[in-house]
Structure 1
Amino acid sequence: MHGFIGEFFGTMILIVLGCGACASVNLKQSYGRGSNWWYISISWGLAVTMGVYVAGFLGSQGHLNPAVTIPYAIFGLFPWHSVLPYLSGQFFGAFVGAIIVIIQFYPQFKVTKTPKEGNTVGIFATRPAIKNGLFNFLSEFIATFAFIFILLNLGNFTSGLKPFMVGLVIAVIGTCLGSTTGFALNPARDWSPRLAYTILPVPNKGKGEWSYAWVPMLGPLAGSLFACWIEQLATI
């Protein structure tokens, strides 16, 4: 239960802060409207930092991400019996985090009446700058490979200032690699908020764009598996 609780609340905080930043940038009559890509990248980095701190204090390893949990288990870095509690916490926590963002910004959703004005699923989930399935997949693969490969060489990333370092990694990946697809890096971070936007009564909402959702699911998982494999080869 500690694993589930830590991952649930850590991922919830991650989404509340990260998607909150996206809502601030996109929705009308928000003070953050129109802020730039640095704002988004740094906000997501700090959101991950705070989520990892919360998760670690509550007893989990601060994965917050199926693309960490699943490859770590496959390569013997994490026990299989903990995979389901971690994944459950991540997906449920992300969904609840999205609900909180909808409540927080409900008046802003009401005055942002069309997707062209900023009321899109992009507040909650990723969208490509240029839609091209192969290259969108490769973008997520490459960005997640870099993220996981760095994590593997950080050691225990819940201790001391390590969560802050993880946040810096997220921010630099966002500024350097994330502008092509919005750097999901994390299937739970994308799918659960996308589902919340799709099924909940968000005023004036656009489409959930599920035809794209395979990219932020499979790209991060493939990139993280490849990173674990390369790390294993490098340390033989």
Structure 2
Amino acid sequence: MSSSDIFAGETIGTAVLILLGGGVCAAVTLKRSKALDAGWLAITFGWGFAVLTGAYIAHPSGAHLNPAVTIGLAMDGVTKWSDVPLYIGSQMLGAVIGATLVWVAYYGQFRAHLTDPEIVAETTGHEGIVDKSASPQAGPVLGVFSTGPEVRNVVQNLATEIIATAVLVLAILTQGLTKGLAVSGTGVLMTAFVVVGIGLSLGGPTGYAINPARDLGPRIVHALLPLPNKGGSDWGYAWIPVVGPLVGAALAAGIHKLAF
């Protein structure tokens, strides 16, 4: 596998992953969207189909689309450690591109949502002056871009991300035990369903980042985009959806080596 295959596959595939995954979050969250309030089922299946689409597009690179998956595969001996920086760098670039495209696709809805008097009242003081002391840690559209906890407890939030990512990476690693599964393309479909299952079962506490690039890249975009009344990017929480998935991936690789 060439460096150009890795760069193109991971950048484009991750961009599509975030475009479709962030897109379903925008569709469910933003005012003037036809899918407003469609609910958690729409989000979980939307992310599952996002993984499916991005992974098929990124087939030439191995379709990691996730630094945690890359680390897990490297620890298992499937991916060369020398290729890991290129994989992760490409995934981060793709995540930034994908999140920016969500903003472009939903530009009118972002403006309608963030200029709504009810939203403005949450993020500004009287007379439209920003009141930083009243601003929430997470702004009113941060959930379109990245994850956040329902109950802010560092130990629980970190544990949730570790457990959920360990399930994902272990499911990917054990596909190699079934001859021809990855080659047939069925493995990609199975991984997409695993992501849906994780979202339905373990997504409630933190929003199931299970992918450092999926969370960090779009959070950076949220911080940089000229969105009115967007509120905070919750940088105090941002390390959890990065560290948790990486630890979970290492845990999954260890379990795979010991058990199989």
In structure 1, stretches of 5+ residues that fail to align are none
Shift of 1:5: 0.6
Q: Is the 8 A contact 1:27 1:119 kept in 2?
A: no
**What residue in structure 1 maps to residue 87 of structure 2?**
86
Q: Is the 8 A contact 1:12 1:94 kept in 2?
A: yes
1:12-23 correspondence to structure 2 within 5 Å: 12-23=15-26
Give 1:198's aligned amino acid: A
**Is it true that 1:174 corresponds to 2:199 in the alignment?**
yes
| Partner deviation per Cα, 1:97-117 (whole Å, 9 max, x = no partner) | 001000111111111123869
**Is it true that 1:96 corresponds to 2:97 in the alignment?**
yes
Give 2:84's aligned amino acid: V
Give 1:197's aligned amino acid: H
Q: Is the 8 A contact 1:147 1:169 kept in 2?
A: yes
Q: Is the 8 A contact 1:120 1:207 kept in 2?
A: no
Alignment length, in residue pairs?
A: 233
* TM-score (norm. length: structure 1): 0.94
Q: Percent identity, please.
A: 42
Structure 2: distance between partners of 1:165 and 1:67: 18
Displacement over 3 Å in runs of 4+: 115-119, 156-159
Q: Is the 8 A contact 1:67 1:220 kept in 2?
A: yes
1:21-60 correspondence to structure 2 within 5 Å: 21-56=24-59, 59-60=60-61
Q: Is the 8 A contact 2:72 2:169 kept in 1?
A: no
1:143-162 correspondence to structure 2 within 5 Å: 143-155=164-176, 157=182, 159-162=184-187
Query: Given the alignment, which residue of 179, 197, 200 partners 2:222?
Result: 197
**What residue in structure 2 maps to residue 61 of structure 1?**
62
Give 2:159's aligned amino acid: L
**What residue in structure 2 maps to residue 134 of structure 1?**
155
Give 1:170's aligned amino acid: V
Structure 2: distance between partners of 1:145 and 1:20: 26
| Partner deviation per Cα, 1:47-102 (whole Å, 9 max, x = no partner) | 0000000000xx20000000011232133221112112111110000000001000
